[in-house]
Amino acid sequence: MEAGKVSAKRPPALASNEFELIARFCRHLKLSRRTILGPGDDCAIVEPSRWPSVTTIDSTVEGLHFKVDWGTPEQIGARSVLVNLSDIAAMGATPTHCVVNLAVRAGLSDKFLERLYDGLKGAVSDSSMDLVGGNITGADQLAITITVIGELRGQALRRGNARANDEIFVTGTLGDAALGWRILDGKLALAKGKNRNWLIARYLRPSPRIRPGQLLAQIKPAAAAIDVSDGLAQDLGHVLEKSNVGAEIEIDAIPVSRAYCSVSGPNRDLALTGGEDYELLFTIRPGCSQAALSKRLGLSVRRIGRITRRRGLRILHDGKPARIAADSLRGWDQLGDL
């Protein structure tokens, strides 16, 4: 992981050169003992772990996931780390190291980039990871790509672990981030106040469920889990596909926040299909109550349905097939008989 690497394509319109920028960004980096050599050489060197290693990568791209005026540069930097951590949470793993590639377009000041990196470093240190390398390259739009490495100290929460009759649970509430995104994008007008702030914060500052994921990984047999990044229906579809099973979910059981209800009333379409919430969706063998699981995982979880032998995803309302707005069903084709 080359910390000081400079790509052939020069970042446009930056006052500092790339080496100066990387040196500035990496100032005051705190590294744990497990990092033998951090940024500044051709590669970082880290102590081997006694546990199996997990690796994930994700990009946050301007125009696709955010616009620069939606939040502070610090918020954009922090969010790019948090969405990566959510994948680590969905495996039941513990994050340990990360490396960052920053693709920079013309028109962004050094100060903006430094603040973005400050937010990124804050989120890295809050999660007890070491940032061990980085790269800066030129691009047509701002993009932050992060690889997170972690260790698996217990069972893996694989998508293929679901079995017929398992119960399906989700953490927290769903649909908030999708509404926050619509507010930020100017597609939804909502009066200033607590609800608006909450929905926007749910988009800008996701809470990766690292600790609940680790606690879930202690329950035997291992749960199937996925983080809800693309919407409950689509993400559950990935679990069903990997596990070769189907599911029934009760749409009214999907947990939503007070702020969500203030906008959508009883309609759960966006909670079913809106992404970016980064809550955990998991399936476990029957017999564990909602209250006991919430206590054990340290946050509120809700039972929303069960895994079936019959393939496909069935959305129910009071036990009968639910009517979902046609435009909510986009991208569901792979799920079979809806």
| Contact residues: Mg ion, CB under 5 A | 87, 227, 229
Of 127 and 229, which CB lies nearer to Mg ion in the complex structure? 229
The structure tokens listed for 265 are 């009333």
3-state SS, 220-243, equals: CCCCEEEECCCCHHHHHHHHHHHH
CB 1, CB 93: distance < 8 Å: no
In the complex, least distance from residue 161 CB atom to Mg ion, rounded to whole angstroms: 15
In terms of CB distance, is 229 or 257 closer to Mg ion?
229
Vertex 64, ends 58 and 68: CA angle to 5°?
Answer: 100
| C-beta of 60 vs 135, nearer to Mg ion | 60
User: Are the C-beta atoms of 260 and 179 separated by less than 8 Å?
Assistant: yes
Residue type for position 87: D
Minimum CB–partner distance for residue 90 and Mg ion (Å): 5
| Smallest separation (angstroms) from Mg ion to the CB of 8 | 32
Nearer to Mg ion, 124 or 148 (CB): 148
CB of 209 to Mg ion, least distance (A): 12
CA dihedral 66, 190, 172, 153 (to 10 degrees): 20
CB of 204 to Mg ion, least distance (A): 19
Between 137 and 243, whose beta carbon lies closer to Mg ion?
Answer: 243
DSSP 49: P
Distance of closest approach, residue 87 Cβ to Mg ion, in angstroms: 4
The residue among 173 and 229 lying less far from Mg ion, judged by its C-beta, is: 229
Whether the Cβ atoms of residue 271 and residue 172 lie closer than 8 Å to each other? no
